[in-house]
């Protein structure tokens, strides 16, 4: 695996500004975004992704949930069941995200597909477009898996935390419906071989 990890020290200042706003707005989403980006970069290294693609992937992963800046933090952190209206609002965050990254996308620093499509599913049941993701760039299919893995294992207020093994079982159970089976296979094997981003 490539040891050349992405570093926050060389991230575009515009990205750092957006992340600082996200940290202010909702620390949980900020922490999740940092972990997901670290996992994406770690996995991209394992796949020997080209350096330029890997950089764009890392930047896009850092900002994948930036649209949550427009969702009130009391909805993001609500402990009780969300109303239909609140879910409807949350499901707009991939599209809201584009409002924050247009210039970064125009400069080829961020992939718009990651911002808008990271909740799309392999079988077309995701949101906001109900796209079938097997035709989408690999980075979109990878972040779909890693985003879910972190949602299951990370410390998020509205989800029951799973062990790593339970989370991998869930990824396997949902391969072919929510997730690209090949990405799930590679990701699970890499973790089960004892690899972690910090290792
Ligand atoms: Fe998201």
- Per residue in 106-165, pLDDT (tens digit) is 999 999 999 999 999 999 999 999 988 778 899 999 999 999 999 999 865 555 688 899
User: How much is the mean pLDDT over the chain?
Assistant: 92
Residues 6+ apart with CB under 8 A from 26: 68, 73, 76, 77
User: Are 18 and 24 within 8 A, CB to CB?
Assistant: no
The CA distances from residue 1 to 46, 48, 51, 157, 180, in Å, are 5, 7, 13, 33, 22
Q: How far is the CA of 65 from the centre of ligand 1 (A)?
A: 5
Distance between Cα 147 and ligand 1 center (Å): 8
Q: What is the pTM of this model?
A: 0.93
- Poorest-confidence range of 61-65, 78-82, 176-180, 188-192? 78-82
The two three-digit tokens of residue 77, written as one number: 């952190």
Q: What residues contact 180, with CB distance under 8 A and at least 6 apart?
A: 122, 133, 134, 141, 144, 145
- Parse the chain into domains and list their residue ranges: 8-192
Taking the centre of ligand 1 as the mean of its atom positions, its distance from the CA of residue 45, in whole angstroms, is 23
Ligand 1 centroid, distance to 94 Cα (angstroms): 6
Confidence (pLDDT) at 181: 97
User: Does 77 have pLDDT greater than 50?
Assistant: yes
Tokens (6 digits) for 57: 């992937």
Question: What three-state secondary structure class fits 176?
Answer: coil
Neighbours of 83 (CB within 10 A): 11
CA of 6 to the centre of ligand 1 (A): 21
Give the architecture-level CATH label for domain 8-192. Answer: Orthogonal Bundle (1.10)
Give the pLDDT score at 9: 73
pLDDT in tens, 153-183: 986 555 568 889 999 999 999 999 999 999 9
172: DSSP letter: H
């Amino acid at each position: 695996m490539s040891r050349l990890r992405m570093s926050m020290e060389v991230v575009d200042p515009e990205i750092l500004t957006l992340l600082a706003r996200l940290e202010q707005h909702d620390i949980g989403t900020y922490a999740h975004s940092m972990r997901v980006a670290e996992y994406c970069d770690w996995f991209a290294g394992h796949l020997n992704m080209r350096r330029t693609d890997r950089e764009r992937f890392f930047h896009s992963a850092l900002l994948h949930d930036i649209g949550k800046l427009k969702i009130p933090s009391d909805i993001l952190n609500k402990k009780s069941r969300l109303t239909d209206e609140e879910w409807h609002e949350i499901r707009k965050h991939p599209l809201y995200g584009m409002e924050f990254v247009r210039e970064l996308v125009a400069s080829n620093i961020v992939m718009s597909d990651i911002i808008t499509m990271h909740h799309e599913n392999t079988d077309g049941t995701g949101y906001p477009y109900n796209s079938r993701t097997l035709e989408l760039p690999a980075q979109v299919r990878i972040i779909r898996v890693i985003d879910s893995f972190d949602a299951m294992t990370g410390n998020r207020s509205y989800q029951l935390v799973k062990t790593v093994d339970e989370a991998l079982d869930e990824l396997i159970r949902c391969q072919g419906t929510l997730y690209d089976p090949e990405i799930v296979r590679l990701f699970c094997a890499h973790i089960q071989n004892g690899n972690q981003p910090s290792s």
